[in-house]
Structure 1
Amino acid sequence: MDKKNKKFNVVIAGGGSTYTPGIVMMLLSNQDRFPLESLTLYDNDAERQAVLGEAIKILMHEQAPQIRYEYTVDPVVAFTGKDFCMAHIRVGKFAMREQDEKIPLRYGVVGQETCGPGGIAYGMRSITGMMEIIDYMDKYSPDGWILNYSNPASIVAEACRVMRPKARIINICDMPIATKTRMSYIVNKDPKDLDVRYFGLNHFGWWTSVTDELGNDLMPQIQDYVSKNGYLTPKAIEKQHMEPSWQATHRKAADLMEVDPRFLPNTYLKYYIFPDYVVEHSDPNYTRANEVMNGREKRIFGAARDIIAAGTAVNGGFEIDVHASFIVDLATAISYNTHEIMLCIVENKGAICNFDPTAMVEVPCVIGSRGAEPICQGYIPTFEKGMMEEQLAVERLVVEAYVEHSYQKLWQALTLSKTVPSATVAKKILDDLIVANKNYWPELH
């Protein structure tokens, strides 16, 4: 078949996720550039997936009956004959996220799902799930690509590098894309017209350049705005990141800029640079996990049940996840070798000249049929390099602890994290996390 007329077979791993309906809606809205032959949802929680799966079945029948659709808990069915696996898994679901956030807060330490102890705990769970998916794709669709946006992406990417170095996987995150969209509103431009340079680790980076389609430097205007307002913009651009906790995060970027005004910071840096502030403004009894469970979780599953009850998805409450369009951008660039530039998490290989060449860094990459090839970002300053070296060591110790079943190395990872004040506190948190994760982590010795 002529490549330009090809239709693609896609499996979404994490079919029971609250993000799945928005991704499906986004895929349907992009059939002109990424046409589907089939779409499969896969999850290991049959009961949870069935609610969304049945509602999406109604949606697919009404909007795209020509696309073969199914949902399954059988990996053979799910992963056989697939061109792409779009992975957004959450091992342990929101119940474990709640533990990730609340256990550190007991000890006055940042409780966040991808940063600090919570991110380490989540990473230890995610490694198992991601290796399983990689192995399924390797066995049943060896020529297919995995597009992974499961968190914590840096730990997952490092685990892939160490444990499955030949995997056809690209790790990507939507947060820089969401922030870039906010930047575009600040300068009244289309996000696609902004050309950015960026370096860092996932959820741990800085923009060094933003120009428009004509090459005009937009950094001074954006820096001036962010130094006063953070990334808060009058225009509401998304539902995902509009809750009060996210608004505070966007606002805090103004303080982050004071530490180094040369660059524009990733919002997640607040957890490392202002951990005391974060803890002070956290409710140990009601964290972001509770906010999501009482918000998006209820909204999406409520909409799904309403669709099933009504027998129609017309005005059913599912909405396109606009930020998930980056997944279509990525799949299209690979399929048609378009050489689009996107931020991805890849092995450094000199892209950051004065940083470990084997580190999994987040930088602009050229995307084509061979995957993601990093673009050189030059040398980085001492402050940012020092922070990244420390965080990279944490992530590598986590993966080593997982592979070696090492209590010692996981304790070292927590101790080294910039969010944790001492080895004593690190040990207390670790011991509590081990109990909470007894059904998910490898046994540590």
Structure 2
Amino acid sequence: MKEKNLVIVGGGSTYTLGIIMSLIEEKKNFPLKKITLYDIDEQRQEKIAKATEILLKEHYPELKDFNYTTDKATAFSNIDAAFVQIRTGGLYMRELDEQIPLKHGAIGQETCGAGGMAYGLRSITDMIELVNDIRNYSNDAWILNYTNPAAIVGLALQKEFPDDKRILNICDMPIAIMKSYADLLEKDVWELIPEYFGLNHFGWFSKILDQQGNDLTNEIKNNIINGDFLPADKEIANDESWIQTFRKARQMLIDFPEFLPNTYLQYYLYPEELAKKETPDNTRARQVINGREKRVHELCDHIIFQQTTNDINVEADIHGVYMIRAAASLVFNLKETYVVMTENNGIISNLPADALVEVPAILTNDGPKAFSVGEIPAFYKGLIENQYAYEKLVVEAYYEKSYNKLLQALTLNRTIVHAPQAKAILDDLIEANKDYWPELN
């Protein structure tokens, strides 16, 4: 395999170190000549980058070049792939995304409901600019976007760049859930073959098979209902919020046993219950600031101070490995199957053609080739169409600067439903996001 050049956009993210560790583990599957970190926040990126430099020197000596930059030409020239993980507004704005809906009795969550809408509207402008910048310097590079909320961002990119077939919107949540299935079965996650349908953060596994074609779905359901379902990926395994999120899958299966749910569905199926459990002074954003961010920055400080990683355990995470293997399949035309987002166009035959669905697809150097799902039952069709209408209205509101369409979107969203509540939340979000959102009519 010919060595490639990669840029990680959002190099100052607390997820970057995990991606780097995964690149080290996957270097035979995705060999690289050059890795570049790019971020608009020079100070935040520098700490991550200095630790990364030591990691790569010790564990990836064959890598010919590593650098970090805030310069677009340096970052995007002569690249083969870009991993995009930006957070417009940072964790400060994420906390407001969660606190404002909670103030009005609705769930505060960064990708779902009102918080997801706020985050999505902030992300669209920066994502469009990023894609244009990358294309100015590397027209044929693969862009793997896993910026949240991926459904809204992906729809906007689909509208803005309809002819760009080298943008892949992808999320690690299906593989993170599958990692827990694999642990229940005492199998390797890469031995499992998923059948999956839905939208991003809004889908179901209809079947889980092994490499021999044996159907493991009922065994997984029984294990979840009669045991304890926990996050297995090391990045979230000890996070109390994620532990409770995975445990909620048991209730979802008891109530709706037909398919295995994506854990994010809890926010849409039990919104009032979950809203009551949240507190504005202990949001998920605050937990991240005091948890993962603090932990990663302390690890970077330790590596930089010691100038070695000899006393730390350098481990890949499932998030990073998934992105890297998907990228390798695209770049090297490996034709491997991953759950990704793609325009529907009849894949789920009784959903709108322009919906951005999340389904298994073979990843080739000509893009994703999705497997047909066919018709889905009325309950799931209704839920998905409602959610897709919300997502589509948010994107339309961005382009049309429409207050009314944002109000319609929030009123449709299952985490809110009530129009007066939706209006109160929207008005507060407009004030909080006046430096980021388009001025609405």
1:241-290 Cα distance to aligned partner (Å, 9 max, x none): 43111111111111111332111001100100000110121122211111
Query: For residues 99-248 of structure 1, what are the structure 2 equivalents within 5 Å?
Result: 99-167=96-164, 168-229=166-227, 231-232=229-230, 236-248=232-244
Q: CA deviation at 1:338?
A: 1.5
| Equivalent residues in 2 for 1:381-400, closer than 5 Å | 381-400=377-396
Aligned pair partner of 2:275 in 279, 285, 289: 279
What whole-Å deviation, never above 9, does each CA across 1:284-304 have from its counterpart, x for those lacking one? 221111111101100111111
Query: TM-score under structure 1 normalisation?
Result: 0.96
- Distance across 2 between alignment mates of 1:305 and 1:215: 47
- How far the C-alpha of 1:97 sits from its partner, in A, is 0.8
From 427, 431, 444, the equivalent of 2:427 is 431
Relative to structure 2, which stretch is displaced further, 14-23 or 419-428?
Answer: 419-428
Q: Deviations over 1:42-86 (max 9, x none)?
A: 001111111111221222233334420110011111011100000
2:323 corresponds to which letter in structure 1? I
Instruction: Tell me what 1:41 maps to.
Output: 37
C-alpha distance in 1, partners of 2:10/2:264? 24
Q: CA deviation at 1:239?
A: 2.8
One-letter amino acid of the counterpart of residue 345, structure 1: M
Distance 1:444 1:312 in 2: 51
Percent same amino acid at aligned positions?
Answer: 46
CA distance in 1, matches of 2:228, 2:377: 23
CA change 1:310–1:244 in 2 (3 A) is same
Following the alignment from structure 1 to structure 2, what is the Cα–Cα distance between the partners of residues 178 and 390?
Answer: 26
SS state at 1:320 partner = coil
Letter of the structure 1 residue corresponding to residue 256 of structure 2: D
Which residue is 2:66 aligned to?
A: 69
How far off is 1:424 after superposition? 0.9
Distance 1:15 1:225 in 2: 39
8 Å CA contact 1:100–1:112 kept in 2: the answer is yes
The one-letter amino acid paired with 1:58 is: I
Shift in Å, 1:316: 4.6
Residue identity matched to 1:223: K
Is the contact between residue 175 and residue 318 of structure 2 (CA under 8 Å) also seen in structure 1? no
Q: Distance in 2 between matches of 1:169 and 1:413?
A: 26
Letter in 1 for 2:319: H
Residue 319 of structure 1 deviates from its aligned partner by 4.0
Offset of residue 318 of structure 1: 5.7
Which residue identity lines up with residue 168 of structure 2 in the other structure?
I
The reply to whether residue 372 of structure 1 matches residue 372 of structure 2 is: no
How far off its partner does 1:12 sit? Answer: 0.1
Label 1:230 to 1:402 Cα distance change in 2 as closer, same or farther (>3 A): farther
Question: Which deviates more from structure 2 when the two are superposed, residues 304-313 or residues 26-35?
Answer: 304-313
Contact 1:306 1:316 (C-alpha < 8 Å) held by counterparts: no
Q: CA deviation at 1:212?
A: 1.2
Aligned to 2:403, which of 404, 407, 412? Answer: 407
Cα displacement (A) at 1:217: 1.3
SS of the equivalent of 2:280 reads coil
Structure 1, unmatched stretches of 5+, are: none
Alpha-carbon deviation of 1:310? 2.2
Q: What is the one-letter code of the residue matched to 1:171? A: N
Q: Is the 8 A contact 1:10 1:36 kept in 2?
A: yes
Q: Counterpart amino acid of 1:96?
A: M
**Structure 2 contact 338–362 (Cα < 8 Å) conserved:** yes
Q: Partners in 2 of 1:228 and 1:205 — Cα distance?
A: 23
Match runs of 1:7-46 below 5 Å: 7-46=3-42
69-78 or 279-288, larger mean C-alpha shift? 279-288
Distance change >3 Å, CA 194–CA 320, structure 1 → 2: closer
2-structure distance, mates of 1:228, 1:129: 45
Aligned residue among 66, 81, 91 for 1:94: 91
Report the CA distance between 1:379 and its aligned residue.
Answer: 0.8
One-letter amino acid of the structure 2 residue matched with residue 225 of structure 1: N
Helix, strand or coil at the partner of 2:281: coil
8 A contact 1:155–1:395 mirrored in 2? yes
**Contact in 2 for aligned 1:116/1:419 (Cα 8 Å):** yes
Report the residue type matching 1:386 in the other structure: G
| Residue aligned with 2:244, SS | helix
- CA shift at 1:105, angstroms? 0.2
Contact 1:21 1:319 (8 Å CA) reproduced: no
Aligned-residue offset at 1:226: 1.9
Unpaired runs of 5+ residues, structure 2, are none
Shift in Å at residue 311 of structure 1?
A: 2.3
Q: Which runs of 4+ in 1 moved over 3 A?
A: 316-319
Scaled by the length of structure 2, the TM-score of the pair is 0.97
Range 312-321 or range 162-171, more displaced: 312-321
What letter is aligned with 1:221?
E
Tell me the distance in 2 between the aligned counterparts of 1:317 and 1:338: 30
Q: Is this contact kept in 2: 1:230–1:252, CA < 8 A?
A: no
Q: Which amino acid aligns with 1:166?
A: D
Check whether the contact 1:303–1:318 (CA below 8 A) recurs between aligned residues: no
Structure 1 residue 406, shift from structure 2 partner: 1.2
1:38 aligned counterpart, secondary structure:
strand
Match of 1:285, SS? helix
CA contact under 8 A between 2:142 and 2:331: conserved in structure 1? no
State the Cα distance separating 1:230 from its structure 2 match: 5.8
What amino acid does structure 2 have at the position aligned with 1:120?
A: M
For 1:100 and 1:195, the matched residues in 2 are separated by 35
* CA deviation after TM superposition for structure 1 residue 374, in Å: 1.2
> What is the RMSD of the two structures over their aligned residues, measured on CA atoms?
1.4
Describe the superposition over 1:92-139 as per-residue Cα deviations: whole angstroms up to 9, x where unpaired.
111111011111000110100000000100101111121111111211
Q: Which amino acid aligns with 1:255?
A: Q
